[in-house]
Amino acid sequence: MSDQGTPPRMRRGSAREAKRAQRLAHAAQSVPFITRKIPLYEVLDEEGLALIEGNADTILEEVGIDFHGEEEAPAIWREAGADVQGERVRFPRGLCRSIIQKSAPREFVQHARNPARSVAMGGRNVVFAPAYGSPFVRDLDQGRRYGTIEDFRNFVKLAYASPYLHHSGGTVCEPVDLPVNKRHFDMVYAHMRYSDKPFMGSVTHPLRAEDTVEMAKILFGEGYLDPASGKPRTVITSLINANSPLTFDATMLGALKVYARNNQACLVTPFILAGAMAPVTIAGACTVTLAEALAGLAFVQLLNPGAPVIFGSFASSVSMQSGAPTFGTPEPALVLYTMAALARRLGVPFRSGGALCASKLADAQAAYESANTMLPTCLAGANFVLHTAGWLEGGLAMGYEKFVMDADQAGMMHTLLLGVDLSENGQALDAIREVGPGKHFLGCAHTQANFESAFYRSPLADNNSVEQWEAEGSKDMAQRANAMWKRMLREYEAPAIDPAVDEALLDFIQRRKASFPDSNV
């Protein structure tokens, strides 16, 4: 006997079955974010983590960070006690850490316009958001092409309809059909209108960050300010990438300043491809990442003590043969485990990971690489997971099929992160007593009582016999995903919005767009 077995079959699908699936999907949809119950996984011990921290301090002290073209930074840093020479800022050991630990919140809530969808960032919480930033999109019907605002809206709708994505994300793809200097209006509006999940703001120019904040004020109305503190509620999280290695540029810092001063969350992310922006070693990549994050996070706290921040790490390797970015390999997973632990020691929420891959297609390469990133992301304890769904081709393309496939994997992570049920029902001793040797459990009372919610049920995996699979057209997962995203878009219904708010948003956009000429810079 080998490891193959064909258990007795239960009766096949029916209308009742379809109803059950609906109920389950509904139940899943009501979780605004995950609170993990399983332990964290760490690869380095106390000594190893302290070594990386010490090295990051050495780099901050000896080499420093360039705050490129940022007018306020020199005075702010000098005032804080750093050594400023032109754009280069060098930091006494421990300075950045102490600034961050003095005021940065360990956890914060990003409010959604639907309060039931607000997300808690940090601690044991996990928030999944779609992929971000692709100029191209890909689907099985039309192949690869530049993204448009229609694609953008489609991905917002798909994320809204996905029970396992908690966040609407930001630049879910670049709407290349719109002018560069005005597309942020349509992007932010799409998140506000076609979803009621939390979203991200524009970072490509300080004025665009200000537009995002203004639109948020319209959307949230009186709810924008917290009546207790009188301060703005955090309703936007925005991605501030370092220009690695060891540099922040004026554009990103400009957006950072707008968001920080408005109490909106800054996700400060060193963008590290080891071998290019950092040494070819794991410890080296971690050191550069930590040094950059410390400087960026501390800068936010100097601008507005207490402003919410997330410590981001985007890390992978480059191929030492071609220089191309690679994903899903073991080295970035080791960086991820290490960085998550370092962020915990610092005491701020952590972002990393997602369903990263280098593959051009939603094929086996894409899936191996995505799973090899997503599982470490969840085990390491990432709090905010950008790029959970859709990522292809090193982020150059957003895939429709890949999106729903990854969202299915995000569903699996929901189950994984909840761990093992050790209740009496979970132990199921009576079921084992009842069935006994050589019998099967399909019909026993415990199975009947639990089977609806017993196992994660993938809408895309085909577990049927090969004969049935062939009768249904021998489709691979990407082909099944193609049917699924189309059905989701067909069945999509926009969340309700106060017509007056919608009108005010559209009016704001119209006035702002009319106030300056289109440009693609």
Question: Residues 195, 264, 304, 317: which binds a copy of itself (CB under 8 A)?
Answer: 317
Site for a copy of itself in 287-306 (CB under 8 A): 287-288
Question: Residues 205, 345, 446, 512: which binds a copy of itself (CB under 8 A)?
Answer: 446
Lookup: tokens for 33: 């974010």
Question: Residues 181, 238, 359, 388: which binds a copy of itself (CB under 8 A)?
Answer: 359
Question: Residues 164, 189, 271, 400: which binds a copy of itself (CB under 8 A)?
Answer: 271
In the complex, minimum distance from the CB of residue 209 to a copy of itself, in angstroms, rounded to a whole number = 13
Please state whether the peptide bond connecting residue 175 to the residue before it is cis, i.e. omega within 30 degrees of 0: no
**Three-class DSSP category at 464:** coil
Site for a copy of itself in 159-178 (CB under 8 A): 171
Question: Residues 66, 70, 139, 196: which binds a copy of itself (CB under 8 A)?
Answer: 66
SS3 annotation, 134-193? CCEEEECCCEEEECCHHHHHHHHHHHHHCCCCCCCCCCCCCCCCCCCCCHHHHHHHHHHH
Note the residue count of the chain.
521
Q: Which stretch binds a copy of itself (CB under 8 A): 96-104, 106-114, 296-304, 322-330?
A: 322-330
Judge whether 159 and 185 are in contact, CB under 8 Å: no
Site for a copy of itself in 205-264 (CB under 8 A): 239, 241, 243, 245-247, 249, 251-252
Question: Residues 73, 112, 342, 367: which binds a copy of itself (CB under 8 A)?
Answer: 367
Phi-psi region of 86 (alpha: psi -120 to 50; beta: other; left: phi over 0): left
Site for a copy of itself in 34-63 (CB under 8 A): 38-39, 41-44, 48, 51, 55, 58-59, 62-63
Site for a copy of itself in 455-474 (CB under 8 A): 455-458, 460-466, 469, 474
In the complex, minimum distance from the CB of residue 481 to a copy of itself, in angstroms, rounded to a whole number = 8
In the complex, minimum distance from the CB of residue 326 to a copy of itself, in angstroms, rounded to a whole number = 5
195 forms part of the interface with a copy of itself (CB under 8 A): no
Site for a copy of itself in 472-501 (CB under 8 A): 474, 476-478
Question: Residues 177, 450, 459, 497: which binds a copy of itself (CB under 8 A)?
Answer: 450
For tokens 């992929």, the residue is 131
Residues 6+ apart with CB under 8 A from 520: 179, 180, 181
4 forms part of the interface with a copy of itself (CB under 8 A): yes
Site for a copy of itself in 390-419 (CB under 8 A): 393-397, 405, 409, 412-413, 415-416, 419
In the complex, minimum distance from the CB of residue 113 to a copy of itself, in angstroms, rounded to a whole number = 24
Q: Which stretch binds a copy of itself (CB under 8 A): 12-20, 28-36, 156-164, 216-224?
A: 12-20
In the complex, minimum distance from the CB of residue 274 to a copy of itself, in angstroms, rounded to a whole number = 8
CB atoms within 10 A of CB 261: 14
Calculate ∠ Cα 31-189-370, nearest 5°.
50
Residues 6+ apart with CB under 8 A from 172: 130, 131, 132, 152, 155, 156, 159, 390, 398
Phi-psi region of 219 (alpha: psi -120 to 50; beta: other; left: phi over 0): alpha
- Between 100 and 288, whose beta carbon lies closer to a copy of itself? 288
Question: Residues 25, 28, 207, 318: which binds a copy of itself (CB under 8 A)?
Answer: 318
How far out from the chain centre does Cα 334 lie? 19
SS3 annotation, 377-430? HHHHCCCEECCCCCEEHHHCEEEHHHHHHHHHHHHHHHHHHHCCCCCHHHHCHH
Calculate ∠ Cα 374-108-238, nearest 5°.
65
Site for a copy of itself in 121-140 (CB under 8 A): 132-135
Phi-psi region of 119 (alpha: psi -120 to 50; beta: other; left: phi over 0): beta
In eight-state DSSP terms, residue 232 is B
Site for a copy of itself in 67-86 (CB under 8 A): 68
- Between 232 and 349, whose beta carbon lies closer to a copy of itself? 349
Question: Residues 27, 31, 364, 500: which binds a copy of itself (CB under 8 A)?
Answer: 364
- Between 68 and 486, whose beta carbon lies closer to a copy of itself? 68
141 forms part of the interface with a copy of itself (CB under 8 A): no
Number of chain positions touching a copy of itself (CB under 8 A): 156
Judge whether 288 and 278 are in contact, CB under 8 Å: yes
**Three-class DSSP category at 57:** helix
Question: Residues 370, 377, 383, 388: which binds a copy of itself (CB under 8 A)?
Answer: 370
425 forms part of the interface with a copy of itself (CB under 8 A): yes
* AA letter at 494: A
